[in-house]
Amino acid sequence: MTTSQRVSIIVPCRNEHGHIASFAASALAQKLPAGWTLEIVVADGMSDDGTREALAEMAAQDPRVSFVDNQELIVSTGLNSALAVATGEVIVRMDVHTEYARDYVAQCLIALAATGADNVGGPWHAVADPDGGPTQTAVAAAFQSRWVAGGAISRRLDYDGPADTVYLGAWPRASFDRFGPFDENLVRNQDDEHNLRIVRGGGRIWQSSRIQSRYRPRATLVQVFRQYLQYGYWKPFVMKKHGQPARLRHLVPAAFVVALGVCTINAVVGIGAWPLFVLVASYALVVAAISTAVLLPAPQSAAVAWRVPAVIATYHVAYGIGTLVGAFDVLSGRPPRERFTTLTR
């Protein structure tokens, strides 16, 4: 007699009425290996756009779907709320704004069994919506570039091997028993922090190119700016918690913002404008070179191409400002600022 095993998909969401039905349909259509069953636990951040009603209807129609309240409205608390009621031997995190290969969960299970890792995941692959427009297409193109991402392995679509973090993730239940749940003090970077906890605790993280999904990025520069402002802001809080030194890719945007501010002040007070000119001209050349590296492998329309430099600059400046503000708050002992605790999607 074969004993059935269960895999639990946990999903945080808020005000996703336009996306939750299609997401649930794709998640329920996952092709699992023999002997495995599926459940989906959605942590709803007290949605007021009809999402909760849609979830209630889905749960009434399919016992594999359930939802819980996430009254704190942030991702980390939502993940932990879903995790608390999930019953699977394996936990797979999903995001409403990502499309998944039919064998996504199956490949997670295969990777966990083959590697014995404490967390596995696939690459972070950004693809614009079919009707997303040129700005979202430019955001996706820049997102995938290793030059924009600072060489992050998680953006490499062909990489198989050990990693320090992966997109979303899939864990044996025992990983949470050993390393704990997500840090609810973090609005952003809670996945990076949890992965850092795993690695520092002697665990292993594995990235498999066979675990395939397509992430839908932000569609406007304002949305991208707010998103990366928060990513930058919360990084110093993670570093403080673990005594982790900053990596070069975390420091460069902040250093550029500081240099830009100093040079601008010098120009305004009359000390000299030439350092500002040299800095801006140098950065423009760097952005042009990165833009060329983004566009050469995958040529885009003119409407997309001229937006790519603006997207790259937005990534850098927003992350740099966020890192500086976060570092100031950490060093001065201030609690996290309220404006950085509100999710940007």
Does the pLDDT value for residue 219 go beyond 80? yes
pTM here?
A: 0.85
Strands 119-122 and 205-207: parallel
Does the pLDDT value for residue 233 go beyond 80? yes
Query: Any idea which of 158-162, 206-210, 263-267, 335-339 has the lowest mean pLDDT?
Result: 335-339
Model pLDDT, residue 324 = 95
d(CA 147, CA 65): 40
Query: Any idea which of 10-19, 47-56, 150-159, 282-291 has the lowest mean pLDDT?
Result: 150-159
Does the pLDDT value for residue 239 go beyond 90? no
User: Predicted confidence band at 345 (pLDDT cuts at 50, 70, 90)?
Assistant: low
Give mean pLDDT, residues 98-110: 95
Does the pLDDT value for residue 344 go beyond 60? no
> Average pLDDT of the chain?
90
Write out pLDDT tens, residues 311-326. 999 999 999 999 999 9
Q: Which long-range contacts (CB under 8 A, 24 or more apart) does 97-101 make?
A: 97/19, 97/215, 97/216, 97/345, 98/168, 98/213, 98/214, 98/215, 98/216, 99/26, 99/127, 99/213, 99/214, 99/216, 100/26, 100/27, 100/30, 100/212, 100/213, 101/211, 101/212, 101/213
Model pLDDT, residue 284 = 96
- Tell me if residue 9 falls in helix, strand or coil: strand
Strands 65-69 and 213-215: unpaired
Domains of the chain: 5-218 (3.90.550.10), 223-340 (no CATH)
Does the pLDDT value for residue 1 go beyond 80? no
Does the pLDDT value for residue 308 go beyond 50? yes
Does the pLDDT value for residue 84 go beyond 70? yes
Model pLDDT, residue 245 = 63
Question: Phi and psi of 134, rounded to 5°?
Answer: -65, -30
